[in-house]
Amino acid sequence: MKAELIKKQVITGKDTLYVFRCPEIAEKALPGQFVEVKLSAEFFLRRPVSIFDCDGSETISLLVRSVGKGTEYMLSLAEGEVLDILGPLGQGFSLPAEPGKCLLVGGGIGLAPLYYLAKCLKKQGNDVQLFFSPRRDAQLLDAIDNDQFPAVIAENRKDIADRLPQSIEGMQYVFSCGPEGLLEQTALECIKKDIFCQVSMERRMGCGIDLCKGCVVAVYTENGLEYKKACCDGPVFDAKEVAFHEKP
């Protein structure tokens, strides 16, 4: 799909918000889904990026952290440029059937898929709170309209260990994206308290469309340990099924 970059906004020293006009994706995108961005002929592989925001008809926004060649190349894009973007891809978060108390647990750039989710949950009438560990990038919160979403900020690991269990207490639905340690802590706490929890798993992804089988996630099934693919079975998984320490 052709996507025109209509706005580019620096959020932190390494995070930039890109708004693309791409109605084909905007009309269909669900929270937790991602797109595959074709950068230029120099880059053979597309780059997977979560849908940070979406207006439901015209535009999608991507919040991208510069970590390597591809994401740094994105910094050179100028408004008006047109890219080829594939999406929406993957299985997103499940919105509750009945409105309830929702906690969104994010760490660092893991904030990216949680904002659109927060907006959709709010629209459905859910009570939405954020638990965020910025890892030195508190300014990331400038990317979101955080007046609407009360946030508990955890500055470090000790803070997370101390405050996450308390924040999860009394919640009905918990959704998380961020470093795997944070996802696992969130998952364990929710399993212990029998609270619905979904986690978005990040994997190095070659194709994003179930061809290369490179993005596996180990899951528990009734037949024992099996492997699913983050690109098409995920990236969002039920927290109970993820075998966090199993690597293929």
Ligand X SMILES: Cc1cc2nc3c(=O)[nH]c(=O)nc-3n(C[C@H](O)[C@H](O)[C@H](O)COP(=O)(O)OP(=O)(O)OC[C@H]3O[C@@H](n4cnc5c(N)ncnc54)[C@H](O)[C@@H]3O)c2cc1C
Contacts with ligand X, residue ranges (CB under 6 A): 34, 47-50, 63-65, 67-71, 109, 112, 202-205, 235
Question: Which residue do the tokens 């795997």 mark?
Answer: 180
In the chain, DSSP assigns E strands to 2-10, 15-21, 34-38, 47-50, 53-54, 59-65, 82-89, 101-107, 127-133, 151-153, 173-177, 196-200, 216-221, 224-229, 236-238
User: DSSP letters of 12-39?
Assistant: SSSEEEEEEE-HHHHTT--TT-EEEEE-
Name which of 189 and 237 has its Cβ closer to ligand X: 237
Smallest gap from residue 238 Cβ to ligand X (A):
17
Smallest gap from residue 231 Cβ to ligand X (A):
7
Which residue number has the CB closest to ligand X? 68
Is the Cβ–Cβ distance between 134 and 108 less than 8 Å?
yes
Smallest gap from residue 184 Cβ to ligand X (A):
17
Name which of 203 and 240 has its Cβ closer to ligand X: 203
Smallest gap from residue 97 Cβ to ligand X (A):
25
Q: What CA–CA distance (Å, rounded) separates 87 from 22?
A: 10
Q: What CA–CA distance (Å, rounded) separates 4 from 20?
A: 5
Smallest gap from residue 12 Cβ to ligand X (A):
11
Name which of 63 and 242 has its Cβ closer to ligand X: 63
Q: Which two tokens stand for residue 126?
A: 């859910």
Name which of 107 and 235 has its Cβ closer to ligand X: 235
Name which of 137 and 189 has its Cβ closer to ligand X: 137
